[in-house]
Amino acid sequence: MLRIDQEKCTACGICEGSCAFGAIAVQGEYAVVNEQCRLCGSCVENCPSGALSLDKVESHPQEDLSAYHGIMVFAECRHGILAPVTHELLGIGRKLADQRGAGLAVVVLGEGLDRYAPALIASGADTVLLVQHKALAQFQEDIYARLLARIIRERKPEVVLAGATAIGCSVVPYVATLLGTGLTADCTGLSIREEDGLLLQTRPAFGGNIMATIECPNTRPQMATVRPKVMTPAEPDPSRKGEVLQIVPTDDEVQSAATVLESVQSAGDQVNIQEVEALVAGGRGLGSEKGFALLRELADELNASVAASRAAVDAGWIPYPHQVGQTGKTVCPKLYVACGISGAVQHTVGMQSSKVVVAINRDPEAPIFNVASYGLVGDLYEIIPELTRQLREAKQ
């Protein structure tokens, strides 16, 4: 927390000028800070009167870190279906486990999920921990967190991985708090440092302008949520052998402070741009919501789904589940058609792994052309209808 000593503050304004986030400003006789503060400390360093300070967070190292061994993955299930990110986590988890000479375990919470055990072992797991109960059929944050925390305390994994999904980002911070350990959210890269075996957790920071590598040296387990579609799933090996353990929750562990009355899938939940082979995406260059009607026609001919940049979503032209980029979803389709998208790094970080990228933009200097396989310079309102017409004719 940034603290301001009002008695020392001279309202000189140096802190306001040095803040890159507009988080501090002089109001009246002293400076005030708002919610944009990132605790970077630049204002503290530049304050000539010493009126600014950052609270220090005391570290409480655990006594025996060597007691923790192995990698653990939280396998997310929604509506009884295993989330695809689970296999991506097993892919990177297997690599980390091999580097550490350790085992890879996967935890599955739900009801009637035995059928997934063989596929999880084939994808790299050595141990499948099945926690099944009728109370786990619906996701409830407090129940899931207590059970995960219990399993982690008992098995003491060195690393715990989960998907940076709605469920993962809800329950995993809860677990980290219960365990008193650190957590790095929304990682796009994971590796092991050879000299000390520490997990290096890489994630975008400051709006995607820099990549930060974070480590957790004093507590275990080292916990991270991983952005979907950035890790490559391991090639399944049906011949792999592993063990399946059933963990029975106690009556107290499945008691919740909340009651789920009904679970409803909204129309937005049906939009899963991360699992399709082709995407047609629109950005600010469309000019208005009407531009997405053109994109949908093209998408229909390509058997594709429609996606968007943050600018289009912020303008209210299309709902958030369609957003690609740093603050949206990471996608990896075989074909990505970017229409009226400039190609800022915050967007390209979410689609640059696409197999083929076709960019349509009237600006020949647009950064999107730097990541495009094919580029079309011109008015998208002329190009897209022509592409749609030719595709339709070719099909006929």
Is residue 342 part of an annotated ligand binding site? yes
Q: Is 341 annotated as a binding residue?
A: yes
Residues 306 and 322 sit within 8 Å (Cβ to Cβ) = yes
Q: How far is CA 327 from the centre of its chain?
A: 9
Distance, in Å, from the CA atom of 6 to the CA atom of 13, rounded to the nearest integer, reads 13
- Residue type, position 363, single letter: D
Q: Is 323 annotated as a binding residue?
A: yes
In the block, residue with structure tokens 């009126």: 51
The H-or-E segment that residue 246 falls in is strand 243-247
**Would you say 34 is a known binding-site residue?**
no
Burial class (CB in 10 A: 0-12, 13-18, 19+), 4: middle
140 marked as part of a ligand binding site: no
**Is 50 annotated among the ligand-binding residues?**
no
The answer on whether 313 is annotated among ligand-binding residues is no
Give dist(CA 225, CA 161) in Å, integer: 6
Q: Which of 312, 370, 298, 303 is nearest to 340 (CA)?
A: 312
Coil, helix or strand at residue 75:
strand
Does 3 count as an annotated binding residue?
no
- Our CA dihedral for 204, 205, 210, 213, rounded to 10 degrees, sits at -70
Question: 106 a known binding residue?
Answer: no
- Identify residue 359 by its one-letter amino acid code: A
Q: Is 344 annotated as a binding residue?
A: yes
Q: 340 among the known binding-site residues?
A: yes
Query: Would the annotation count 218 as a binding residue?
Result: no
Do the annotations mark residue 284 as ligand-binding? yes
- Output the DSSP codes for 204-216: EETTTTEEEEE--
Q: Is 222 flagged in the annotation as binding?
A: no
Is 309 known as a binding-site position? yes
Sequential DSSP letters for 160-173 = EEEESSHHHHHHHH
Q: Which helix (H) or strand (E) holds 17?
A: helix 14-18
* 343 belongs to an annotated ligand binding site: yes
Residues annotated in a binding site: 284, 309-310, 323-327, 340-347, 361
Residues annotated in a binding site for FAD: 284, 309-310, 323-327, 340-347, 361
